[in-house]
Amino acid sequence: MYRKFILAADGSQNGLRAADEAIRLAKLCDECVIDVVFVAEYANTRVDIPLPSSEEERELIEREQLNPVIDKINESQVKQTFTVLFGDPAMALTQYANEGDAEMVIVGKRGLNALQEMFLGSVSQQLIKKSEIPVLVVK
């Protein structure tokens, strides 16, 4: 039985469905924990999107994107942790998964950045290829 899950959260609808699956799996045991992981990639943001001007503004933006996921998990009363990583989402999540103690990564099939997906491949595809632990992709 898996006991620790990484939930890749990005605020997308597929990310919310992934959260539902993570909750469903985590409820199977009392010791299960969901590590909600958000990857901030401000260096790759489109030019026409204003970057946060301060640490407080950055944290506010991240919380706004993640509040629906965090609210779902809080309502479910499943144990959780929260981690913010920086950089390319696929690389950061893969490294975090491979170096940590989680037993499974749960990710939505498609996130918020369709343009990057077209050129680089989706985060879920890259996780499947490079992760050393199982990856559950939720549609």
- What is the predicted pLDDT for the residue at 11? 84
Q: Where are the domains of the chain?
A: 10-45+52-138
Span 4-40, pLDDT tens digits: 999 999 888 889 999 999 999 999 999 999 999 998 8
**What own/partner pairs with CB < 8 Å and gap ≥ 24 does 95-102 have?**
96/6, 96/37, 97/6, 97/127, 97/131, 97/132, 97/133, 98/130, 98/131, 98/132, 98/133, 100/6, 100/35, 101/4, 102/4, 102/5, 102/6, 102/35, 102/133
Q: Please choose, from the candidates 65, 133, 76, the residue with its C-alpha nearest in 3D space to the C-alpha of residue 99.
A: 133
Predicted confidence (pLDDT) per residue in 74-131, tens digit: 999 999 999 989 889 999 999 999 999 999 999 998 755 554 454 445 889 999 999 9
Q: Which CATH number fits domain 10-45+52-138: 3.40.630.30, 3.40.50.620, 3.20.80.10, 2.70.70.10?
A: 3.40.50.620
